[in-house]
Amino acid sequence: MSEVPQNTKFLLFGFGPKMHAQMAMIANLLGIIAVIVGIVSAATKNSLGLGATNWFLLTIIFFIWSISFWMSAYFGAKEGYTGERT
**Cβ distance 62 to 27 under 8 Å?**
yes
Would you kindly state where each structural domain of the chain is located, as residue ranges?
15-79
pLDDT given at position 77 = 79
Q: H-helix or E-strand containing 47? A: none
- What does each of the 86 residues of the chain score in pLDDT, given as a tens digit? 567 666 666 666 667 777 878 888 888 898 899 899 889 888 888 887 888 888 889 899 989 988 988 888 887 777 776 666 55
pLDDT given at position 68 = 86
**Closest C-alpha to 75, from 5, 17, 6, 14:** 17
C-alpha span between 24 and 70 (Å, rounded): 6
